[in-house]
Amino acid sequence: DYKSAHYLSASKDLDVGTRFRPLSLDVPKPLFPVAGLPMVQHHIEACASVPDIREILLLGYFPAQQLQQFVADMIAAYKIRIRYLQEYQALGTAGGIYHFRDQISSGNPDAFFVLNGDVCGDFPLQEILNFHTSLSTPSLITIMGTEATRQQSTMYGCIVEDKETHQILHYVEKPSTFVSNLINCGVYICSPDIFKRVGEIFNSRQDFYSCEDSEGTESIQLEQDILMPIAGTGQAYVYTTDRWWSQIKTAGSAIYANRHYLQLYHKTKNERLAVNGPDKPTIIGDVYIHPTATVDPSALLGPNVSVGKNAVIGAGVRIRESIILGNTTIQEHSCVLYTVVGWNSTVGAWTRLEGTPCDPNPNKPFAKMDNVPLFNAEGKLNPSITILGNDVKVPSEVVVINSIILPYKELSASTKNEIIL
């Protein structure tokens, strides 16, 4: 049975999160709050809901002390064993699980999940487990897949499957031409036999490189080094889902993820959503307000707003499609649209913060979030959400549009389409 099944989060993006700046300058990217919870807590919550999972391991390159309190809080909240294992160097999605194979194998699990830390979604983990265990031919690795548009598919790992058996016949990571609409979601369930396969790759690299040139030989990717070679050999399968899924590569994608996690709360954690009532702010759609936050009853919030710990929202404030982080003050009659307001920031009265969303095209089925680069080909800033870093001060009666303000800045005037360093 699967009573000792493990979950492991091994991610290419559990690093410094360069594309997530300035929001990752003050907190590790996996701990950035989306819909009121750190990003990786959504993974933990999904895993903890699978009855047969016995332990959760977090792999990353962050110093252990940065996640120590978070791990303690998660153990208390979910009553499950959770450990953080720090990589001594970036080991890749497969190199990490091979390096910590003894910890993963303790308890003799029948299988273990691997979730990349930079993905978000409504993870059907129990369904993937059921699919994996019901296969007539044992699977070395089963991937969660979903459909993307023809144009967007080349930005992901593309899967060609046998429609009847769901066996993976061909796999290409970010192909230069169209291969398949079916893409890799960065969610896997693996047999412990995969360690033998990764070990063969590791040993072959040690033999190939001399000792002086061996730096980086332990960085092994599940996608390029494991999936591509075993595709078509009957050892890899795909479980396809039409549930919501996305990547969180940039700060703009955090707003999109925030919206969908708030929608998921209707089904899973409805008590987290704010409701209308006497002496309460007016709520439109899905809104999360931390219990310690103070929101004036005359404020209007929503849809798709998260308000963090100890935040203060003044009279007549209007907020929609935004994330307001902890210890922030939004003074009276300000308007905040498509914006992330960083920790400990202050927004003056009668001020307007506005960004431009880069949501998937609603007219294209299976369209995914585009991770638009910061600058276009002409060197100009692409329109995006507005971001205030940590401890930013915005004066009263100014307008900030499509701008990124780095931490510890104090604006003196309105700004549009600028990065304030």
pLDDT at 19: 63
Q: What CA–CA distance (Å, rounded) separates 134 from 315?
A: 57
**Beta-bridge partner residues of 389:** none
Average pLDDT, the chain: 88
Edge-first strand listing for the sheet containing 352-354: 282-283, 300-301, 318-320, 335-337, 352-354, 399-401, 415-416
pLDDT at 10: 33
Instruction: Tell whether omega for the bond before 360 is within 30 degrees of 0, i.e. cis.
Output: no
Q: Is the confidence at residue 302, as pLDDT, over 50?
A: yes
Q: Is the confidence at residue 213, as pLDDT, over 60?
A: no
What pLDDT, in 10s, does the model give residues 60-75?
888 889 899 999 999 9
pLDDT at 263: 94
What band does 208 get if pLDDT is binned at 50, 70 and 90?
Answer: low
pLDDT at 11: 33
Higher pLDDT pick, 324 / 9:
324
